[in-house]
Amino acid sequence: MPDGHETLLEIEDLSVHYRSTHGDVAAVSGVNLSVRRGEILGIAGESGSGKSTLAVALLRLLRPPGYIAGGSVTFRPKNSPEVDLLNLDERRLRVLRWRSLSYLPQGSMNSMNPVMRVEGQFRDVIEEHSSLSRSQIDAMIPRLLGQVGLEPSVARMYPHELSGGMKQRVLMAISIALEPDLVVADEPTTALDVTIQRVILQSLADLRSAFGVTLVVISHDMGVHAQLVDRVAVMYEGAVVEVGDVRQVFKQPSHEYTRSLIDSIPKIGPVATPAPVGQSEAL
Ligand SMILES: Nc1ncnc2c1ncn2[C@@H]1O[C@H](COP(=O)(O)OP(=O)(O)OP(=O)(O)O)[C@@H](O)[C@H]1O
């Protein structure tokens, strides 16, 4: 790469529309965006700006009435040739899911199977997408839980015994179980209280340091981006209006809309932007 960064995912001229009785609505319009291997890229923008539509489209999880109106998404997983995700057949896509591409949808905490212990939820995903044996999987679970700051005993618990923050951390541990190249997390801290949000952000930062996983983190909250990401892309009415190093974007936003998002972060005392989460902050 000319700029010294390896591109893991390249979104080119991506447009996504929703069909409606009043005509088609453009939710994503001509988006160009690269995700560099090993980085944490934030996608910011207010509700309705197209963040989730962009995520589900590039992960090939878009459902009708949504459809891809144009563009390409080139993905370069480790140890395999590059693919255009938008043209990949279902069989090859299935091979990539969890092993190369993981997704934590918005509100996923509420979609855990309520009658299955945490260990069962790990087994379900890992057995389906790898050739690991039951005993190999069971041996992995305590280590994966530890990676997100949870005790091994959590494996025997049911979702109703976990707090929202613990559920989110279990899902994060499952998402990296097969060491994917890319994890896309949609609003991973929304609906959690502020102290728990910081724990989740710390766990995400730790996953990147421990596994070198590339993260795309979608959040309407610029405070999340200030604390976690390396670069941030700002979406407005379906378009990416600005992308850059997060410190630079906060210091000198080039778009008025970005400035209004930054100004909407609640300020406590004289501190204008939250401090980044550390590598191994005590929680
Ligand atoms: N199933 C759907 N049918 C029709 N229009 C949709 C559908 N889903 C989303 N949209 C429209 O697409 C646009 C982008 O929505 P999207 O959910 O991607 O935004 P967002 O930035 O992720 O917001 P939020 O965080 O609130 O989900 C909005 O105008 C929305 O109304």
User: From the CB of residue 147, how many other CB atoms can be counted at a distance below 10 Å?
Assistant: 18
CB 253 less than 6 A from any atom of ligand 1: no
83-84, strands of its sheet edge to edge: 25-36, 7-18, 66-75, 83-84
pTM for the full predicted model: 0.92
Alpha helix segments (H runs only) across 7-67: 51-58
Q: For position 142, what pLDDT does the model report?
A: 97
Q: HSE of 50 in the Cβ direction (CA atoms, 13 Å)?
A: 25
CB 105 less than 6 A from any atom of ligand 1: no
Retrieve residue 17's tokens.
């529309």
Q: Which CATH number fits domain 7-109+182-263: 3.30.2350.10, 3.30.465.10, 3.40.50.300, 3.40.50.2300?
A: 3.40.50.300
CB 52 less than 6 A from any atom of ligand 1: yes
CA of 239 from ligand 1 middle (Å) equals 13
CB 116 less than 6 A from any atom of ligand 1: no
Q: For position 271, what pLDDT does the model report?
A: 46
Q: Which H or E element spans position 34?
A: strand 25-36
**Reduced to 3 states, what is the DSSP secondary structure of residue 185?**
strand
Q: For position 1, what pLDDT does the model report?
A: 46
CA of 161 from ligand 1 middle (Å) equals 32
CB 26 less than 6 A from any atom of ligand 1: no
CA of 51 from ligand 1 middle (Å) equals 8
Mean pLDDT for each consecutive 10-residue tract of the chain (283 residues)?
78 97 96 97 97 97 97 93 94 91 90 94 93 95 94 97 94 94 95 90 92 95 95 98 97 95 75 58 37
40-44, strands of its sheet edge to edge: 101-104, 182-186, 214-218, 40-44, 231-236, 239-245
| Protein residue with least CA distance to atom 24, ligand 1 | 47
- Alpha-carbon distance of 263 to 146, in angstroms, equals 37
- Alpha-carbon distance of 162 to 28, in angstroms, equals 36
Q: For position 13, what pLDDT does the model report?
A: 98
| DSSP 8-class letter at 181 | S
